[in-house]
Amino acid sequence: MTAIRTENLSKTYGAGRNGTETAAVRALNLEVREGEIFGFLGPNGAGKTSTIHLLLNLIRPTSGTAYLFDRPVTETAVHRRLGYLPESVNLHDYYRGRALLDFYAALCGVPANSRSARVTELLKLLHLEDAAEKRVSKYSKGMAQRIGFAQAMLHDPDLLILDEPTASLDPVGRKEFRDILLELKRRGKTVFISSHILSEVKTVCDRVAILQNGELKRTGTLQELSANKKTKLVVKGLPAPVMEALAITAAEVTLVQGLATISCPDEELRQTVEQLLRQHGVEIVRTETGTQSLEEIFFATITPPPKL
Amino acid sequence: MRTIFLIAIDSIRALLHQRLLLGLMLASLALTIFFSIIMSKERTVITESFSDDTMTNNSVMGTNQMSAVDRRNFQDKMESASTTFQAMFYQVASFGGSIVALFIFSTAVASEIRKGTIRLTLSKPVSRTQFLLGKYLGGVVVMAAFALLTWFAILIFAQTQNLELSPVIKWAPWLMFCRQLMLGSLAMLLSLFMHPIIASVLAFVAGNGFYSLHNPLYYILPSYKDFNVFFQVLEGTLLNLKDVAFLSLYAADFVVIMLLLALWRFRTKELV
């Protein structure tokens, strides 16, 4: 079962004062598997938040369909399995922290007898115990972000949709947030994160998707997305005939402390070299596959904006 | 149903924290006190003027009592003052209540969309229908409290001033409440299409007598005219139960139609 699935999902906003229409999302086909942490990347205006709003049924698609756990997003019941943290957390500011969480917990259907314990647990987890009786309007941005995260987790949902979740957090808060995400993953939860902070996405995400101008450019694991397919074969000693054979190929050989490293720039050459080594009975100690960093992948994928 | 109640309670909570709304309610209270004082003074003036006249007549005629004619005049004047003040009191409470109702219902959904708080609420297992009905119910409870307060205020007013209540004034808070729910439902519907202030103005204007019985719009647009019992209070006319029941049904019918239209609009509305 997929946690999130979109089929040719498109959203075009109506003509503004200048008479032009804006396509925020274009024929998006996306699949997020259950139990994975999925990073949703893209520059500003790429259509990430619009996609999230479509998934939450806050806006209507121009065409296409979106599903959560294989049910159309228009079904309210599917929200029982969903937790959402928006980019800018706007809270009902007439509540105090604990009362606000209690209200959301009641809406989520958390039983009255376990509600108080659950709220206390989350206040503790997100270090908000001291602010529990403080009015939400007095919260700092970081505290609002934390309580926003708490409300998303109140009913222990199977899927968390987080829009720029760490934007207002300090480094300590970010580290704690990462730890919580990894714990959620360990417990089999699905997390969909839209973020600009590539280092963070790289640390926690199993797969990523890169969006630009509403179009899905690429999706996959970091390894799958990496353009760098260079492979290094590390072997113990190289017989002279192998050295001679390698010399006429594009493979590079370096010798360090009795170990030879053969760098193969592409997949085809790697297979040729492996065959050659097998023919001469040379044992491959290990294989190293080179990958690009997420930042390199991101910038290689998106088209830079025109210079001003 | 539970979700609708939760949204309604949240809505009441939000309204109780609205300074503008509290200000409007305080203004209504201040007007009540103002009217009580004026009424009290007016009664004193009438009593004093009759006392002076009686004393003058007594000294001329050598009697010690108010004549039957004078007594009837005195009672007529007191009754007239009483009904005028009851009618005025009702009018002020009704107008104040209408402003409160327009404020509550036109901003109930619109302010949640504007502030972005609706995104969190609707990410929970809350349907748009539950949300809208919960918001409306919250407003109904606040308006019911306002109508009850008005009713109590009228009773206290009558008690302290030793007045006999006009027969129609007993129904006035109920009719006022019905009128405010009609206004509110229309304002809520319009606020899903336009700015709450414009929605409020339109909802107020639409039904306040821009058309006569000969105008076909009368049958389509709401009419609040019959819910205003100012003249009946003034004239001391009786309002029978059948009329009240008919007006209540008209209001209920109107509110249901407006809510259905609002739900139809809200279900397809973009909420960001």
Nearest to B120 among A59, A86, A106 (CB): A86
This prediction's pTM: 0.82
Answer yes or no: is pLDDT of B73 > 90.
no
**Contact call for residues B147 and B97 (beta carbons, < 8 A):** yes
Select the more confidently predicted residue: B52 or B17: B17
Residue B86 has a pLDDT of: 75
Which position has the token pair 């600009």? Answer: A196
Sort strands A22-33 and A2-13 into parallel, antiparallel or unpaired. Answer: antiparallel
pLDDT at B109 (0 to 100): 93
Structure tokens at B230: 């100012």
User: Helices A141-153 and A171-186, interaxial angle, to 10°?
Assistant: 10
Q: Count the residues in chain A.
A: 308
d(CA A238, CA A258): 9
Which residues of chain A does B14 touch, with a Cβ-Cβ cutoff of 8 Å?
A: 92, 94
In which residue are the tokens 């399995």 written?
A: A81
In which residue are the tokens 């417990």 written?
A187
DSSP string across B95-140: HHHHHHHHHHHHHHTHHHHHHTHHHHHHHSS--HHHHHHHHHHHHH
β pairing state of A159-163 and A190-194: parallel
Asked if the model's pLDDT at residue B56 lies above 80, the reply is no
Average pLDDT rounded to a whole number, residues A284-304: 79
- The whole-angstrom separation of Cα A202 and Cα B41 is 80
CB A274 within 8 A of CB A284: yes
Partner-chain contact B123 A95, CB within 8 Å: no
| pLDDT of amino acid B266 | 95
* Residues in chain B closer than 8 A to A161 (CB atoms): 123
Contacts across the A-B interface (CB distance below 8 Å): 69
Q: Are A219 and A66 in contact (CB under 8 A)?
A: no
Query: Which of A89, A109, A152 is nearest residue B125 as measured by Cβ atoms?
Result: A109
Single-letter residue type at A298: F
Q: What is the mean pLDDT of chain A?
A: 88
CB contact under 8 A, A94 and B13: yes
B14 → chain A, closest CA residue: A94
What is the distance in angstroms between the Cα of A15 and the nearest Cα belonging to chain B?
A: 15
- Residues of chain B with C-beta less than 8 angstroms from the C-beta of A107: 3, 6, 121, 124-126
Mean pLDDT, range A231-248, rounded to an integer: 87
Q: Which amino acid is located at A30 in the chain?
A: L
Provide, as residue numbers in chain A, all residues whose Cβ is less than 8 Å from the Cβ of B120. Answer: 84, 86, 89-91, 104, 148, 151
Cβ contacts (< 8 Å) between B16 and chain A: which residues?
A: 94
Q: Which residues of B touch A (CB under 8 A)?
A: 3, 6, 10, 13-14, 16-17, 115-127, 268, 270-272
| pLDDT for residue A256 is more than 70 | yes
For A100, nearest residue in chain B (alpha carbons): B10
C-alpha B89: how far from its chain's center? 11
Query: CA–CA separation, B177 vs B180, rounded Å?
Result: 5
Edge-to-edge strands, sheet with A22-33: A22-33, A2-13, A63-68, A71-72
Predicted pLDDT at A66: 96
Mean residue pLDDT of chain B comes to 82
Output A111 or B241, whichever has higher pLDDT: A111
Q: Which residue of A has its CA nearest to B17?
A: A94
Residue of chain B nearest A160, judged by CA positions: B123
Q: How confident is the model at residue B236 (pLDDT cuts 50, 70, 90)?
A: low
CA atoms within 13 A on the CB side of A134: 13
Q: How far apart are CA A18 and CA A20, in angstroms?
A: 6
Distance from CA of A308 to the nearest CA of B (A): 30
Q: Regarding beta strands A259-264 and A159-163, do their DSSP bridges make them parallel or antiparallel, or are they unpaired? A: unpaired
Query: Whole-angstrom Cα distance, residue B140 to residue B143?
Result: 5
- Model pLDDT, residue B242: 85
User: How far is B264 from chain A, CA to nearest CA, in Å?
Assistant: 14
Taking an 8 Å cut-off on Cβ atoms, the answer to whether A104 and B124 are in contact is yes
Query: What residues of B are in contact with residue A82 (Cβ under 8 Å)?
Result: 123
C-beta atoms of B272 and A108 within 8 A: no
A69: left (phi over 0), alpha (psi -120 to 50) or beta: left
In the predicted model, is pLDDT for residue A64 greater than 60?
A: yes
Closest Cβ–Cβ partner in B13, B117, B124 for A107: B124
Composition of chain A by helix, strand, coil, percent to 5: 35, 30, 35
When mean pLDDT is compared over A56-70, A197-211, A264-278, B45-59, the highest value belongs to A56-70
Confidence of residue B20 (pLDDT cuts 50, 70, 90): confident
> In the structure, what pLDDT confidence band is assigned to residue B211 with cuts at 50, 70 and 90?
low
Can you point out the beta strands (E) in A150-241?
Answer: 159-163, 190-194, 207-212, 215-220, 231-236
| Cα–Cα distance list, B168 to B28, B90, B225, B229, B233 (Å) | 21, 11, 15, 7, 6
Q: How far apart are CA A95 and CA A77, in angstroms?
A: 26
CA distance B227 to chain A (A): 35
Closest CA to A141 of A191, A180, A201, A91: A91
Q: Going from the N-terminus, what domains does chain A have, and what CATH number goes with each?
A: 2-225 (3.40.50.300), 230-290 (3.30.70.980)
Q: Which residues are registered as beta bridge partners of A236?
A: A259
How far apart, in whole angstroms, are the C-alpha atoms of residue B58 and residue B53?
8
Residue A164 gets which letter from DSSP? Answer: S
